[in-house]
Amino acid sequence: MRIAFDSRPSKDPRGVGRYARSLLQALRATAGEQDEIRESHRPRGVDVFHAPWMQGAILHSPCPMVVTLNDLAELKRPSERLRCGGMHLRMRHLALQRAMQVIVPSELVAGEASAELGLERERIVVIPQAPELTATGTSRTTTHQLVGDPLAPVWSWEDTARETWAVYRRALDQPGRPYVIGRRRAISRRRGARSQPGTMSGRGSGPPPDLPPL
C-alpha cells in the first residue's frame, strides 16, 4: 500500500507537530514489505492520502483521504473565525467532510466532531495518542502519567501506528467518497448506481456553484 503523508506540521513543536512526527516514525517502523510512505501533501500515484491535521484536508483528493482531527478548539475560537473568515472555515469543513475516515484521539473529540461538524459517527475512529518519543525512541512519559490512572494500559506509538494502518486499509476498501455539505447530503458512494437506467448521470457531481473549489 502506498501512502502519502502530509508531514508539513512536523516542524511545529506543539501538539499537532508532535503527533505528526511520532506517528510518521512509528508508521515506518510498522510498515509491511509492500508498504510505502511518501511525505507529500499532494497525493499523486498513491493509494491513500493522510492529512494529520485539519488544515491539510483537500477538496479533490484523487484517492481515499484520511484526516486526523486533534481537537476542535481552533474552530471554536472567535479570533480564528475573524482571521480566516466564514468562507475559509466553510471550505475547511467541506474538505474534512469528504474524508473517508476521520481519526480523533478521544471519544470526547469524536462526539464534538459529530455534533459540531455533522460527521457520521461510523466514519470517526478513535485512536489514542501515545507519549512523545525521544531521539532514542523511548517515551518521555508513560501513558499512566498522561491519564493519571496507574491501571491504564500502556499505549505506544507503534500501537497508534498499527491502528492507523488498519484505518488506511478500511479507507481503501470503501468504494466512493462521502460528499457532504452542511445539512444537504449527496453520497458519492452511489456513483456506480448513477450509471444505471433511471438514475442521475455522473455529470455535475462536483461541488455546488456557491462553493469555489480549493
Q: What is the pLDDT of residues 60-73, one digit of tens each?
A: 999 999 999 988 87
Q: Average of pLDDT values for 87-111? A: 86
CB 171 within 8 A of CB 100: yes
Q: Can you tell me the distance from the alpha carbon of 126 to that of 140, in angstroms, rounded to the nearest whole number? A: 23
Could you give the domains of the chain? Answer: 2-178 (3.40.50.2000)
* Phi and psi torsions of 93, nearest 5°: -60, -45
Q: Can you tell me the distance from the alpha carbon of 72 to that of 90, in angstroms, rounded to the nearest whole number? A: 14
Q: Can you tell me the distance from the alpha carbon of 200 to that of 96, in angstroms, rounded to the nearest whole number? A: 25
In the prediction, which pLDDT does 179 show?
Answer: 40
31 pLDDT exceeds 50?
Answer: yes
Q: Average of pLDDT values for 172-181? A: 61
25 pLDDT exceeds 80?
Answer: yes
Q: Can you tell me the distance from the alpha carbon of 132 to that of 142, in angstroms, rounded to the nearest whole number? A: 9
- pTM to 2 decimals? 0.72
In the prediction, which pLDDT does 90 show?
Answer: 74
162 pLDDT exceeds 50?
Answer: yes
In the prediction, which pLDDT does 181 show?
Answer: 37
Higher pLDDT, 201 or 39: 39
In the prediction, which pLDDT does 195 show?
Answer: 45
